[in-house]
Amino acid sequence: MPFMHISTTEAIDESTADVIKARLGEAVSLLPGKSEAYLMVRLDGGCKMYFRGTNDAPAAMCAISVFGRAGREACGALTAKVCEILSETLGVAPDRCYVKFAFTDTWGFAGDLF
């Protein structure tokens, strides 16, 4: 039940969105017990964003919400992979990308709770 919300300064066309979605679908398995089967991805391109006081280079924010918990090592591995994906697909340098994790024990789906 992960949800990945990526906001970026860069435009995202359909083919690039498909590549990002597919690569995130593979990457989410770095979190124990998670897979693409329940992954939801939201991609917001063309956002007005400032990082370190400027907007002179591509930037991105990836907020990852997860049902349950994941350890620091798994989160670190996924952070590295997300930064790699955004660098290779959108040209966002890893040092201009934040990745934030939020964990919850309450997650609704299909009219019920897990």
**How confident is the model at residue 102, as a pLDDT?**
98
**How confident is the model at residue 114, as a pLDDT?**
84
Q: Give mean pLDDT, residues 10-22.
A: 98
CB 46 within 8 A of CB 7: no
Domain boundaries, the chain: 3-113
**How confident is the model at residue 89, as a pLDDT?**
98
- The top-level CATH class assigned to 3-113 is alpha beta
Each residue's pLDDT tens digit, 42-56: 999 999 999 999 999
How far apart are alpha carbons 30 and 83 in whole angstroms? 14
What pTM, to 2 d.p., does this model score?
0.94
Neighbours of 15 (CB within 10 A): 9
How far apart are alpha carbons 16 and 26 in whole angstroms? 16
Each residue's pLDDT tens digit, 87-113: 999 999 999 999 999 999 999 999 999
How far apart are alpha carbons 102 and 111 in whole angstroms? 22
DSSP H or E stretch at residue 103: strand 97-104
